[in-house]
Chain A
Amino acid sequence: MNRQTCIALACGLTLITGGANAQKADPAVAAYRAALADKDGNPGLLIIDKGEILFKAVNGPKKVSLEKCDFGLGPGILKGAYAQMPRYMADTNRVEDLETRLLHCMVTLQGRNPDQVKAKRFANETRNESNTEWEMIVSYVAAQSDGMRLSMRQSHPKEREAIAIGEALFYKQVGPMDFACATCHTATDKRIRLQALFNANDKGQAESVMGAWPTYRVSHNAMRTMQHRMWDCHWQMRLPDIDMASPGTVALISYLTKQGDGTKLDLPGMRR
């Protein structure tokens, strides 16, 4: 099956997502996977290919590519880098997830304005937009750790601190809904409408989420990154936009990565 056909199929399935058996997680996606038989049918692969082109393309006032970006294993080393993120970075003296590091490289290597990068961070699914440069590059870099085990490093005090801060924020109730992340994500077999909610305190469920991000969201017709997920949850909590690559998002991602520690990355993932 060629990839164009797969994408057409994905669009079709978007319409029928949410089926009779709401108790079982994502039956439409399971059917979709089965129909495609193997991972080569994930439309996210196309987006990863575009991400590779953009990663290697000259951009910004300094007219360089991102190929010299150091994701923690040395400049330009992508294989396995995402599996060890978030991590403490000595040059910035802070913990960074993949996306925070990417922004750092766009600013320092390419000389780009961070506010301009952040202004177009996600494709708006309500306007059926294509993925942004940001989402494509993140998907590409993350996919270079496919098949590896995700590990939340805890060797540096700031890494341990980020996990603890993330845990505190996970339980922080705020906003007109009185919600915390924990309100929806600390019980098993709960759902909002037909959408199953994952339990971050269940090792298996935390692993299945953390091992599948960045993920192709069938209902968004787009690849989605973990920073998008942090923004999306806060938006649903009726809070202002949580800033991309902010200390709060990095801490939450550190905590969630610890909850899913050791999972085998299966990238790109695919979800409803």
Chain B
Amino acid sequence: MTMKPVSFPIVIVAVAAIVSGCAVADKTQDIAVLAEQAFKDSFKPGPGQDLSRLEQDETQRDCSIARANPSEALAKAIMARESRNMAYPEGAKLFGDWKAGAKIFDDGFAYRIGSFIPNKPDAVRGGNCYACHQGEAKEAAFGNQGPSLLHYGKLRGQSDAIVKYTYEKIYNARAFNACSAMPRLGHNKILSPKQVADLTAFLVSPESPLNK
């Protein structure tokens, strides 16, 4: 077997490219390790602290490294994983009470901890949805981090498919958008399945002021 001789400068360039590529990769790896250590060293146990909240799950880890912009393959894997992180209310009643949902939409959800200004641990949590989404027309102080939900049901109808999608999107947004900015409200136990069903009704129901 004969090999075509490769000219010396090309070999040097190739080796240099490989070495520098490795050096960059190693450095990124080092920084990730150092960042984890720095993070760990930045929280202390004590009254009002819950250090279990500092543990990332696999999806948070993936989305952190991807800076919320995953490759198509990674996004698929995350969405497949998160679609299994789904739970439903008793009797699979995904369409709840829109009046209760209206309140949940506006209620701040608290859940803050620590020793300075913690919220009451047993307080019923809301969704604080209007902090990021426009809801019914009369609420002016809405945020725009997420899309407007005004006329959500009016635009989409009330089919079973829409109800199911809406419930699941609120329960676990990352089943549909891998590194969504929207918290996994149901999966992360901020809202109960019943509350998610109530929000679903508030968004979808023709009687809801959101669709007027």
Interface residues of A (CB under 8 A from B): 18, 22, 122, 124, 126, 161, 164-165, 168-169, 171-180, 182-184, 189-195, 197, 231, 235-236, 238-243, 246-249, 251
A240-B111 in contact given A178-B60, A190-B145 (Cβ < 8 Å): no
Q: Which secondary structure dominates chain B's binding surface?
A: loop
Complex-state Cα separation, A5 to B175, whole angstroms: 55
Given A173-B60, A179-B183, A240-B114, 15 more contacts at CB 8 Å? A161-B34, A174-B64, A177-B188, A191-B144, A192-B145, A193-B143, A194-B143, A239-B53, A239-B54, A240-B43, A240-B48, A240-B49, A241-B49, A242-B43, A247-B37
Interface residues of B (CB under 8 A from A): 31-32, 34-35, 37-39, 41-44, 48-51, 53-54, 56, 59-60, 63-64, 67-68, 111-117, 130-132, 141-145, 174, 179-184, 188-190
Pairs A–B under 8 Å by Cβ, sample size 26: A126-B117, A168-B31, A168-B32, A172-B35, A173-B60, A173-B64, A174-B56, A174-B64, A176-B53, A177-B190, A178-B180, A178-B183, A182-B67, A184-B145, A190-B143, A190-B145, A195-B143, A235-B116, A238-B53, A238-B113, A240-B48, A240-B51, A241-B43, A243-B42, A247-B42, A248-B39
The residues of A that contact B37 with a CB separation of less than 8 Å are 247
Of all chain B residues, which has the CB nearest A249? B42
Complex-state Cα separation, A191 to B133, whole angstroms: 10
Complex-state Cα separation, A235 to B43, whole angstroms: 12
Contact (Cβ within 8 A) B114 A191: no
Complex-state Cα separation, A239 to B37, whole angstroms: 17
The residues of A that contact B43 with a CB separation of less than 8 Å are 239-243, 246
A183-B115 in contact given A173-B64, A240-B50 (Cβ < 8 Å): no
Contact (Cβ within 8 A) A124 B117: yes
A71 to B: closest C-beta gap in Å: 22
A249 to B: closest C-beta gap in Å: 6
The residues of A that contact B59 with a CB separation of less than 8 Å are 178
Contact (Cβ within 8 A) A177 B56: no
Contact (Cβ within 8 A) A251 B38: yes
A171 to B: closest C-beta gap in Å: 5
Complex-state Cα separation, A179 to B128, whole angstroms: 15
Complex-state Cα separation, A190 to B145, whole angstroms: 6
A168-B143 in contact given A124-B116, A236-B112 (Cβ < 8 Å): no
B52 to A: closest C-beta gap in Å: 9
